[in-house]
Amino acid sequence: MVAWARVLSLTGVESGRDPVRSYRVGDSEKMNRFAEHSSRLDLAVGTSVEVRGHFRGEWSRGFEVAETTHDGYWVRRLSDRYVLPVEFLGRDVRAMR
């Protein structure tokens, strides 16, 4: 029983506060997403790229970066200039080799 009281005390449950929501969101304590947490490479819009297919994992040519996001890219198929309707993560896009 004493061990559980210690766990509850550490998590804040004993005090009646929500341990998940108990943090203060002030100017100095806001959580920001930093570039080093992104899996995205630095490929500029218009760069010719290869994309990895989700089904077989093969790399396909004939695409370019249409837009960059925090985690990846929207890509455009060069043959018909169609922007694919799915965002590719940074690990699934690479500069054309």
- The reported pLDDT for the residue numbered 97 is 86
Structural domains counted in the chain: 2
Q: Are residues 87 and 65 part of one domain?
A: yes
- Which domain CATH number covers 42? 2.30.30.10
Q: Tokens for 75, please give them.
A: 């890509």
Written as tens digits, the pLDDT of the chain (97 aa) is: 455 455 445 445 455 554 444 444 444 434 444 444 445 668 999 999 999 998 899 999 999 999 999 989 999 999 999 999 999 999 999 999 8
State pTM to two decimals.
0.58
User: What is the domain range of residue 46?
Assistant: 35-97
Q: Tokens for 26, please give them.
A: 């002030």
- The reported pLDDT for the residue numbered 84 is 96
Closest CA to 93 of 62, 70, 59, 45: 59
Q: Are residues 40 and 13 part of one domain?
A: no
